[in-house]
A and B are shown apart, each in its own frame.
Chain A
């Protein structure tokens, strides 16, 4: 009881986002998730200039056949390799793959790709979800049609589209579309984004349906503020918390989906390295070179886990019912 009352005094007067932030920081598991995500970010951003194709410091594409399938922390073969082919670090930190490429450099290159796939795909999904959910919630009762014939309401149309998209088995649909399209990293991002906006659209719609009946929105409408501005300035900011949570969890899902696609051979095409296709190339050497499976698998696992714990922590912090 005593701790409750001190909590109440310490949160009074603080802005809502400060309160959420304070509750979030108390959740040690979620903070650990956030810090891990931040670490991966730094690694990916540092790795980008280090492995860029023109003048790489650590070259992820350098083939060294005398040094193929070396285990982690092994020394390069100095007699068989030309001096300019020797790895910059002087040691294969994560070993080499079947072509003698440095797995550490490839993992570094893949870090940025994996994060980019997650962020772009979720960005597309959230944008579609916000737009369609917002329209269905605010303009839902408008009817569409020609002349005198009113056919459907906007709400029927958008919820119908959500139902249609939710009927498909999402992974198999993504696999189908990715297999039909020419292989490219952008196609994968767009396809994952286009097939994962339904959840966001659904709860944005629900949120706006309940918000638009409240006094501050009626006041805004009564002042003559146009619809799009009401949505953007008054409704969406109030619906942002669940969007943020689902986006964080969505990034985790998108990274997993990309790695699954890569694993089945429909991922980002070579020579680009992603964690998914390092793992998928390594599966042929499962028993001889298990590090080719362990290292990218563990990296994907840690990153996805960090995003999931971070998102769950946000969800709990945003939910006033769970703050005790």
Chain B
């Protein structure tokens, strides 16, 4: 067990190293220097460019810059090109803004995907299954931003309410009860839209997993013992069918950063995805690199956690 942990940690460290190199390299090795903030701006003279390159250490060799970058990032000294604020502070602040969206979305996904997926597996090859299959694929296939616009047009035209942003603009001093209700309402659309594709994908996994288990020998044995169908399905089949989803608990963590760029941009939600988009637009490379790196680190932690969880729940996996 301990040997396994050490081995995994060692592997993850190597992965982490290459992740840090790649996040750095995609920005620094691409054509066009990071210092070319706005090459067309006539007021950006070569002298200024030189001073700027010196100030941010961009005139040094790449390995030195690489070491410097991660030293500053880990000690919290790394500052944004744009407003000179500490990068880590910005990331933490925006993550806290994204957190409610992420939590509500995740709860929606997990509450709807499982019953839905199990139902389609049990009623396989019926009209219900065919309709839901097409519906699920429609949700997977529709571009998120298109669905968001359709929803916005519908909701705004029908109910004449504000849907963009954290809260209704210009109503900051209305008392905490109204404020809380307003904020909750503004959570509804972005989290529902964010969850839609998630529900579709996860319910599809649940369906195929259930189908696999339902054709297993021990389920046939349970049926031939004369157990009633509900007990066979929910006591014998479901328990094993759910095992792989334990690993998904660990993989939830990186969802906090990835995937929210489009919805946060549409809904003007000052979260982590929008921070990334703004940083890319303004060529704020320290923030861009740090976001890619932090997201990858969260994924690594997530996969480590899911490996451990899987070992805990599945006695067949022992090392």
Chain A residues near B (Cβ < 8 Å) = 29, 160-161, 163-164, 166-173, 175-177, 179-182, 252, 256, 259-260, 263-266, 279, 283, 286-287, 290, 293, 297, 300-301, 304-305, 307-309, 312, 321-322
Contact = CB atoms under 8 A, between A and B. Distances in A.
Contacts of A287: 153
Interface stretch (B67-75, B78-86, B144-152): B144-152
A266 B152 CA distance: 23
Given A164-B19, A167-B19, A173 B141 contact: no
A321 B134 CA distance: 22
Contacts of A168: 19, 22-23, 292, 295-296, 299
Contacts of A307: 141
Nearest to B262: A260
Nearest to B296: A167
Contacts of B11: 160, 163
A181 B296 CA distance: 22
Interface of B: 11, 14-15, 18-19, 22-23, 26-27, 30-32, 130, 133-134, 137-138, 140-146, 149-150, 152-153, 211-212, 215, 254, 257-259, 261-262, 265, 273, 276-277, 280-281, 283, 288, 291-292, 295-297, 299-300
Given A172-B258, A256-B141, A266-B280, 15 more contacts: A167-B19, A167-B296, A167-B297, A168-B19, A169-B296, A172-B261, A172-B291, A173-B26, A179-B280, A179-B281, A181-B30, A182-B31, A264-B261, A286-B149, A297-B150
Contacts of B297: 167
Contacts of A161: 18
Contacts of A265: 281
Given A29-B134, A164-B22, A169 B288 contact: no
Contacts of B258: 169-172
Contacts of A300: 143, 146
Contacts of B26: 173, 176-177, 180
Of the listed residues A168, A287, A290, the one surrounded by the most CB atoms of chain B closer than 10 A to its CB is A168
A252 B141 contact: yes
Contacts of B144: 260
Question: What secondary structure prevails in chain B residues at the interface with A?
Answer: helix
A308 B141 contact: yes
A176 B288 contact: yes
28 contacts: A160-B15, A164-B15, A164-B22, A167-B15, A167-B300, A168-B19, A169-B254, A172-B258, A175-B280, A176-B26, A176-B27, A176-B280, A179-B281, A180-B27, A181-B31, A252-B141, A256-B143, A260-B143, A263-B143, A264-B261, A264-B262, A279-B143, A286-B149, A286-B153, A287-B153, A290-B153, A293-B146, A305-B141
B296 A297 contact: no
B278 to A, nearest CB: 11
B201 to A, nearest CB: 11
Nearest to A178: B280
Nearest to B254: A169
Given A256-B143, A301-B143, A169 B259 contact: yes
A160 B259 contact: no
B18 A160 contact: yes
Of the listed residues B137, B138, B296, the one surrounded by the most CB atoms of chain A closer than 10 A to its CB is B137
Given A181-B30, A264-B262, A169 B15 contact: no
Contacts of B280: 175-176, 179, 266
A163 B300 CA distance: 9
A168 B11 CA distance: 16
A308 B133 CA distance: 11
Nearest to B20: A164
B47 to A, nearest CB: 25
A172 B31 contact: no
Nearest to B149: A293
Contact of B146 (A166, A266, A297): A297
B28 to A, nearest CB: 9
Contacts of A290: 153
Contacts of B254: 169
A307 B299 CA distance: 29
A225 to B, nearest CB: 35
Contacts of A305: 137-138, 141-142
A172 B149 contact: no
Of the listed residues B19, B32, B144, B292, the one surrounded by the most CB atoms of chain A closer than 10 A to its CB is B292
Given A286-B149, A301-B146, A308-B140, A175 B295 contact: no
Given A172-B291, A172-B292, A167 B299 contact: yes
Contacts of B141: 252, 256, 301, 304-305, 307-308
Contacts of B137: 305, 308-309, 312
B289 to A, nearest CB: 8
B133 A29 contact: yes
A172 B296 CA distance: 11
